[in-house]
Each structure stands twice: as structure tokens, then as C-alpha cells.
A and B are shown apart, each in its own frame.
Chain A
């Protein structure tokens, strides 16, 4: 099968002249941890609403995701989020881009549900009244309203991941990056999280091994050994990846 490859995406340099202000742009990005190079010369413009990232273990997907909100700053090259350089405007980038990790336990930092959701709003100095209102609204949206005062560690795995997502979305980021949000979940909860992602108005980038999650996505990247080796519509890209792995 021919490798799916979108020309426009492969040539961001042409596009930089008319660089969309509402896009994520990677310009010749490489990243090394010590001696080890985990991303090599990645150049991309991501302007789609929903972008998926797949690839084998250790291929560099999480590193790629972390670049998008400045958790990792590239060793060389630049990452621009809506025109902001992650190296220079770190705080502004972090405020624009929410990040959901695989393990909800590591992201929940307060003992009870409502307090944890309020955490990011505290950091943003949102006044108490507005804070309470936004927390209540988000808890209701994710079916956690009845658990507001419950200890977070008594929630089920699926509820914990919804709590972690609520804690990020309550901050109203302009974009959200997910790194394997469904890996630890059962089928019912995977579907729930998939629906949450589907309903988001924000642009999202989702790293996943859960290929079903990518149905309806606008674009999928395949990462292999630190390079983007395929890039296109989910149907062709996912099929190409699956064929390659079997």
C-alpha cells in the first residue's frame, strides 16, 4: 500500500509565508535526551481540528506531545503555538494548551474531587465565586457532580480519568493535548472518553495506541523512530500503519 502523505503538511516552509495564526507549527524540530535522539527534523503545520498520533512504543510520540505545550523544549528547531514560541513564551503557551496524561493518579493533586478541579483556577487567580460556578459546571458535565466532596482515590479508573480531564478543561485552554488518555480504561470508559474528546470545541492532538479512538479525526500522523513516516486522513494512515505492523 502506498504511504499516505499529504504534500501540504510535508512542506511547512512554503506555508510559513502565510503561516496560519491558529495552528501549531514545528520547524525543523529535533530533540535529544542526553545522547539519545528521539525526534529528528520534524517539520509540520497542524491546523486541523482533531489530529491523532500513532506509532510503536518508544517511537517519540510522548516527546512530540510534550513539545506542544512546552513541557519539553526542542533541542533544536522551533515550536510555535498560535504564533507563540514555546521556548520564549512558555507561560502563555502553557495557558493556551491543556495537557492530559495517561495516568490520572499522577495528575490529581488534591484529596477531594471538587478541590482538585479548582486547582488550576486557583493558579489562574480566578475569583472564588466564579471558581465555584465553573467547577460545578464541569463536574456536572462529566457526571461527577455527585462526587464533589468525595476522596479522589475512591473513584473508579474511568471516573479518575474524567476528573483529570475536567481539571484541565475547567481552565478553558484553547487547545488540548492528550497522551494515551484511554490506555488504562475498560471499553465503556474508553467510549466515554472518546465521546468527551469528540464533543470538544477546542482543537485536540491525541497520542494513542487505541486506533478506534481516531474514527472521525481529521488527520493522523504515524511516528517511527523519531520521524513522521506517514501523514494523512485516518482511514488510509491507520490502514497503512496496521498493514505495516502485521
Chain B
């Protein structure tokens, strides 16, 4: 299933940990991995993340492997590239480092609701208010991206199937046209739905929005 819809509803210690803390730890981990480029450090970090994922977040080994599947070719390519251009140890370091970060990010998304992550991002972006940016808008954009990627992927698949069912052997890019049309229609209605659900309401004084 979609890697973006990873949230695991099985409760765990990490689910109860504040999202801000988890994101900060994720940031610290990536700094550490790149600041100290040593194989033992990266290996220990990988082991720690796996333990945290299985015990702390109560993810199954299958869920973890599913996270690596999309980047699997990438990692293999990286290893081969380094083995040829530099050496195998550097390649191993690069691969372990990336795998660690992918899994750590998966642990964070599996144990944090999007709303919590978005709230942290909005908080971090709060100083941008001074430049006229509305942090809530950034948060909404992120949430909508997560919502629409699987949907658009599904529509693309349906178009591909419909064309295949009619024996299409046309080049792939031609199915982009109907997809684009669908996405534009979707965007139009979504814009209306956002309006209808009050997304552009300015922050009014509390008494004003209460119905009564």
C-alpha cells in the first residue's frame, strides 16, 4: 500500500511521544550521520532505529521492509556506484546511512498523526508570519499533498487500465493528457470545497463564528 499512508493505528510508546520531539530527534540523527561519517556509528544507528521501530513503535518487520522497497534500487545503485568509483566501505556507509534515515522517518510518520506533524511544521514556520506567510496555509498544503498523491496515483492507474482494456499500445505519455484533465477537474472542485468548508475564513474574534 501507499508508503505515504503509513500511520499505524496500533498504540505504542512512540505514539504518545510528542511529534515535535520525534521530528527533532530525526533531525539530530541526520546531522549525526552526516557529521560523523563512520561505518560503526551508522551501523549502530541503524540497529537502534530497527529496535526502536519494532519495540518502540510496534511495527512489524514486514512494514519496515515495505518502507525500504521503493528505495531499494536506489540503494543498490549507490552501492555499486561507490564500489566502482571509490570503495565498498564508503558505499556501505552511504547505503546504511540512507536506509537508517528512511526507516527513522518511517517510524516518525507511523507514530504521528499528520495533524501533529503539520502542527509542528506550522510552529517552526511561525516566524514567517512576519513576512506575510500564513503558517496554517503551509500546513494545509502539506496535508493536501499527502492526501492527493495516492488519489492521483490511483486515477492514473485507472486510466492506464482503461486504455489497456481498449488495446492501447500508445506511448505512456499520452495517458498523461486524460490524467491532467481529471486532475484539473479535481482541483476545481477541491477549491470550491475548500471555500465551502471555510478554509479562507480569516481568524475572526471567537464570538463571531459561533452560531446561535
Contact = CB atoms under 8 A, between A and B. Distances in A.
Contacts of B124: none
Contact of A106 (B2, B9, B186): B186
B6 to A, nearest CB: 9
Interface residues of A, number: 38
Given A94-B198, A110-B147, A123-B199, A149 B113 contact: yes
B173 interface: no
Interface string A13-27: 000000000000000
Interface of B: 1-2, 4-5, 7, 9, 113-115, 140, 143-144, 146-147, 150-151, 154, 185-186, 189-190, 192-199, 201, 203-204, 206, 209, 211
A125 B203 contact: yes
Interface in A91-138: 91, 94-96, 98-99, 101, 103, 105-112, 115-116, 118-120, 123-125
B198 A123 contact: yes
B154 A101 contact: no
Majority DSSP secondary structure for residues of B touching A: helix
Contact of A153 (B9, B151, B199, B209): B151
Contacts of B194: 109
27 contacts: A66-B192, A71-B192, A94-B195, A94-B196, A95-B201, A95-B211, A99-B196, A106-B185, A106-B186, A109-B190, A109-B193, A109-B194, A109-B197, A110-B115, A110-B144, A111-B4, A111-B143, A112-B5, A118-B115, A124-B201, A125-B203, A125-B209, A151-B2, A153-B2, A153-B147, A171-B197, A174-B211
A107 B186 contact: no
Nearest to B190: A106
A242 B115 CA distance: 48
Contacts, number: 104
B135 to A, nearest CB: 13
Contacts of B198: 94-95, 120, 123-124, 171
Contacts of B5: 111-112, 151, 153-154
Contact of B114 (A95, A115, A167): A115
B151 A105 contact: yes
A153 B150 contact: yes
A123 B197 contact: yes
A69 interface: yes
Given A109-B140, A115-B115, A153-B150, A125 B193 contact: no
A118 B114 CA distance: 12
A119 B204 CA distance: 16
B147 A152 contact: yes
